[in-house]
Amino acid sequence: MGRGGVPKDRNDGPERKCIATGEVHPKFGLIRFVVGPNGQVFPDIMGKLPGRGIYVSADRAALEKAISRGLFARGAKQPVTIADDLLDEVERLLVRRLVELISLQRKAGKAVAGYEKVKSWLQLEEAEVLIQALDGSGRGKSKLSTPHYGSYIGCLTADELGLAFGRQTVIHGALASGGLTQRVVEEAQRLVGVRENEGGNGHSKG
């Protein structure tokens, strides 16, 4: 099991080499960057921007190493400019992507929020993933358990979860299987690696 609960034996997809660690990983465990026409390094969270991709593990230490040791320039084979807040921008974009995916699952009827609804889904075994706010009460969160053979996400704040569910704040949420749920888990794993204050991960507890 890798950092953030990314299974190292998963091989269903293209792999890329991290410029910081030299290790080869599936693309879902990496952050893609591209260099713009002006030499600026941009994070490409969706993996769709044109240009040659430069990959770094979804790990804060690896990203810091790539930035401090000039590895982006080596990877791009040209001089590059790196914004001072590049790490923060990567984190912000990962949060936004994760919020969007959870929101899409909610609109598809595959996500619920609120202690009682989540508890009901867990009891009925409808929940595949338990989501709890990073800054929620530990005592309150301990009353709900991760689904057997399911996953846990605890890397978003109550405000960020609120955005996903169309509310001001959310402490407890759950996702059903299918749809974009696996993508949500993978994006959460990337955010866990990048976020300094790791409040949980997307690993299976089965």
What SS3 string covers the chain? CCHHHCCCCCCCCCEEECCCCCCEEEHHHEEEEEECCCCEEEECCCCCCCCCCEEEECCHHHHHHHHHCCHHHHHHCCCCECCCCHHHHHHHHHHHHHHHHHHHHHHCCCEEECHHHHHHHHHCCCCCEEEECCCCCHHHHCCCCCCCCCEEECCCCHHHHHHHHCCCCCCEEEECCCCCHHHHHHHHHHHHHHCCCCCCCCCECC
The pLDDT score that the predictor gives to residue 203 is: 41
Q: Where do the domains of the chain lie, and which CATH numbers do they carry? A: 3-83 (3.30.1230.10), 89-194 (3.30.1330.30)
47-57 average pLDDT score? 94
The answer, yes or no, to whether residue 8 has pLDDT greater than 50, is no
The overall average pLDDT reported for the chain is 90
CB 135 within 8 A of CB 158: yes
d(CA 39, CA 75): 12
Name the least confident of 5-14, 120-129, 179-188, 194-203: 5-14
The pair of structure tokens assigned to 164 is 């996903």
Share of residues in the chain with pLDDT > 70 (%): 89
Under the banding of pLDDT at 50, 70 and 90, the label for residue 144 is very high
The answer, yes or no, to whether residue 173 has pLDDT greater than 60, is yes
Cα separation values, 65 from 61, 74, 95, 157, Å: 6, 13, 22, 27
The pair of structure tokens assigned to 81 is 């400019």
Q: Count CB neighbours of 143 within 10 A.
A: 10
Q: pLDDT per residue over 78-108, tens digit each?
A: 999 999 999 999 999 999 999 999 999 999 9
Place of tokens 């690696």: 193
The answer, yes or no, to whether residue 56 has pLDDT greater than 50, is yes
pTM beyond 0.95:
no
Cα separation values, 98 from 38, 102, 164, 173, Å: 29, 6, 8, 13
15-34 average pLDDT score? 94
123-140 average pLDDT score? 95
Under the banding of pLDDT at 50, 70 and 90, the label for residue 197 is low
The answer, yes or no, to whether residue 60 has pLDDT greater than 70, is yes
The pLDDT score that the predictor gives to residue 35 is: 96
The answer, yes or no, to whether residue 125 has pLDDT greater than 90, is yes
The answer, yes or no, to whether residue 196 has pLDDT greater than 80, is no
22-31 average pLDDT score? 93
The answer, yes or no, to whether residue 150 has pLDDT greater than 80, is yes
Residues 6+ apart with CB under 8 A from 106: 112, 113, 164, 165, 166
